[in-house]
Chains A and B, each alone.
Chain A
Amino acid sequence: MRLAWGAVAGAVTALAFLVVCVASLSGDWASFFSRTAAEKMGEFVVGFVRPAADAAFLRKLGYATLETLAISWLGTLIATVGGLLMALPAAGRWGRVARSLSRLVLNVLRAIPELVWAVMAVIAAGLGPFAGTLALAFHTTGVLGRLYAESLENVAPEPHASLRNHGVGAVPAFWYATFPQVLPQLMSYALYRWEINVRAAAILGVVGAGGLGQMLHFHLSLFQTSETASVLIAMIVLVSLVDALSNVLRARMTAPR
């Protein structure tokens, strides 16, 4: 009993798995630390120190930032509405079959990564921010729908039940009893998702869905390190601002009045 066999066995298994994984990879570690890699990374650092800042470029950058913000904001908004609509059956309001079906749909929406959605949206709606918005909307509906369904299922049933008991219809009972209880959580999840979606929106442009990502891909493929650095800085600033705003809004909503 001196040796904690369980812990040791677990640690050994984890390490063995790791070793197998390392062995499965190309093992091209040397290239990461090679001279050419160092030179290229050096060029990036140089680009970062002197990011592009001429007026015309900054105008484009500003517009792309607003575009990215709009993609994330509108995509999340659509997903909030869609997610709430899908959450009602997924929480079991309309029986077990509806619950299973809607949960299946939500899982499919969630499981497909935003980037894959974006590629498909680009095919359907053409290059540009609309594709990005659609991609985010679809994927986030799956995520929020699942979270909202769980919130709805965890809500205290007494207020709703007591209203139904004096003959109130299901829809008004929902709005007067259930909805006010879950509203803070719904908003909180939505804002949290917005933070994540801003990052996602910035990236979706890589496959042509507009915004900062499209600019990033463009300049990166031309290896224009200064412009790339500017785009990255814009991304970081945008993400930080949205994070801060989201935190403030969430704190205000959960603060005791």
Chain B
Amino acid sequence: MHSTPGAGAGTTACSGVRVTYAAGADALSDVTLTFAPGEQVAVIGPSGAGKTTLLATLACAMRPAAGSMQVLGIDPWTLPGAELHALRRRLFLAPQAPPLPPRQRVVHAVLAGCLPQWTIWRALRSLIYPRDAEIAREALARFHLEDKLFLRCDRLSGGERQRVALARLIASNADLLLLDEPVSSLDPALALNALEVLQDEASTRGATLVVSLHAVDLALARFSRLVGVKAGRVMFDLPRAEVTDQCLTELYGTELGASMQAPPDEPAAVLKLNRCT
């Protein structure tokens, strides 16, 4: 167990990390990455490359089988349970499919971002009468959704649900933001706008931002550092200027043409509705 190179307070890093699927195959092998506090990085790669697993591992939602890790300057897997949970409050992991309960109103779905800072009593009071609705409204306004404040989540379109999930991030005050395909359901203009808002928010807070993206052109346009992941390994970790066409071809193989144009391979994030109401 060697200490992670370049480690310091607030750094998030993994070194030689290996994560396995339940069936035994490797989801990530020998991954070494370091993110300084406040850095903004895009993670790109073909479907099934392990981008989701990487984000989950950084979020302490998956325990590596080998290697060492640091999250915001702390080694999470040496912490006792309660302190590990306290560490989780400082990060925000946004999955691909917006985790919004269908029947919940948007105001509560957004304010759920504040839950780590709230006591259970404040959380319950807010469910009955959301006094902090203003916080939710401001967060939604960044994505031009403030008029949806009191609608039910299942009345929104797929793209709107995705932006509501991002508004939850705005309402939270996490220092490590890990976003899995956050703009996959948005048209190019909205996607660009959303990324601007997210990056703006991250730099205001001084938070570390790691975003996995399917659209390589967006990644190249907005991020100064790109990490390419393929088959569970880091293929490259380069500043934007050094990312050549050859890097991308090696990363995507024949898929390069498809990802440079619009629709992603994976289906747009679909909200799983339990039953028809």
Contacts and interface: CB of A to CB of B under 8 A. Distances in A.
Interface in A1-33: 1-4, 8
A1 B128 CA distance: 11
B150 A3 contact: no
Interface string B117-140: 000000000001110010000000
B105 interface: yes
Interface string B130-173: 10010000000000000000100000000000000000000000
Contacts of B128: 3, 8
Contacts of A3: 128-129
A249 to B, nearest CB: 30
Among B105, B107, B128, B133, max chain A CB count under 10 A is at B128
Contacts of A4: 105
Contacts of A2: 107, 129-130, 133, 150
B165 to A, nearest CB: 21
Contacts of A8: 128
Among A2, A3, A8, max chain B CB count under 10 A is at A2
B129 A1 contact: no
A8 B129 CA distance: 10
Nearest to B108: A4
Interface in B195-254: none
Contacts of B133: 2
Nearest to B131: A2
Contacts of B130: 2
A49 B107 CA distance: 55
Contacts of B129: 2-3
Nearest to B105: A4
Nearest to A11: B128
Nearest to B107: A2
Interface in A154-207: none
Contacts of B107: 2
A116 B17 CA distance: 69
Contacts of A1: 150
A1 B130 CA distance: 10
B13 to A, nearest CB: 44
Interface in A53-79: none
B191 to A, nearest CB: 30
A8 B127 CA distance: 11
A70 B177 CA distance: 65
A151 to B, nearest CB: 22
A173 to B, nearest CB: 35
B127 to A, nearest CB: 9
B122 to A, nearest CB: 16
10 contacts: A1-B150, A2-B107, A2-B129, A2-B130, A2-B133, A2-B150, A3-B128, A3-B129, A4-B105, A8-B128
Interface of B: 105, 107, 128-130, 133, 150
Closest 8 CB pairs of A and B: A1-B150, A3-B129, A2-B129, A2-B130, A2-B133, A4-B105, A3-B128, A8-B128
